[in-house]
């Protein structure tokens, strides 16, 4: 829309300029200037696309790592024994809530006003893990491993929340749109 408006302004201004400003030399200077601005705009768009691609790859890798940690935590809790059934159920609720919301933030379940807080659920899991009484060395190791995995999930949640709030600068987009309008 802005580039179209810029084109219309250019057509209007062309009829208002004296003939001396429309000679071959003036046209060449304007063409070179427009070429320079077009090249800079193309460079900026390329960098913007590359940045978005890198950001998407980073988030994808973090989600893959989080999913792996969830599976490992469930397997660790299952290996610990039946005492962890409540923790495994809470883990499933966390995963369901995150999938319903499409992100790691707090979730309001459909059809209810109940709010499921992932941060509170992860803290509750850590607390329950600390309060468990292992019966043998294997359970001590599994308890420690499960605690570290829950800690890693909490860390991943915070990273994903932080990355979700990054936006492209409005000033940057305004300058880029201005360049594209000038080119047209």
Angle at 105 between CA 102 and CA 111, to 5 degrees: 65
Q: What is the pLDDT at residue 140?
A: 93
Residues pairing with 116 in the sheet: 107
**Residue 139: which pLDDT band, with cuts at 50, 70 and 90?**
very high
pLDDT(113) > 50: no
Cα–Cα distance for residue pair 107/163, rounded to 1 Å: 18
Q: Per-residue pLDDT averaged across 132-157, rounded?
A: 92
pLDDT(105) > 60: no
Average confidence score pLDDT of the chain: 82
Question: Do residues 167 and 77 touch, judged by C-beta distance below 8 A?
Answer: no
Cα–Cα distance for residue pair 63/83, rounded to 1 Å: 28
Cα–Cα distance for residue pair 134/63, rounded to 1 Å: 31
Q: What is the pLDDT at residue 102?
A: 65
């Amino acid at each position: 829309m802005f580039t179209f408006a810029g084109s219309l302004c250019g057509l209007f201004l062309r009829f208002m300029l004296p003939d001396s400003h429309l000679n071959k030399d003036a046209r060449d200077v304007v063409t070179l200037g427009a070429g320079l601005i077009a090249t800079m705009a193309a460079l900026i768009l390329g960098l913007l696309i590359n940045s978005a691609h890198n950001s998407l790859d980073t988030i994808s890798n973090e989600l893959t790592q989080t999913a792996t940690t969830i599976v490992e935590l469930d397997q660790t809790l299952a290996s610990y024994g039946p005492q962890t059934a409540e923790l495994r159920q809470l883990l499933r609720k966390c995963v369901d809530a995150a999938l319903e919301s499409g992100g790691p933030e707090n979730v309001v379940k459909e059809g209810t006003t109940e709010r499921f807080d992932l941060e509170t659920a992860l803290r509750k899991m850590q607390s329950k893990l600390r309060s468990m009484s292992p019966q043998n060395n294997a359970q001590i190791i599994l308890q420690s491993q499960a605690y570290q995995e829950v800690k890693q999930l909490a860390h991943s949640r915070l990273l994903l929340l932080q990355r979700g709030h990054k936006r492209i600068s409005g000033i940057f987009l305004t300058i880029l749109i201005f360049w594209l309008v000038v080119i047209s």
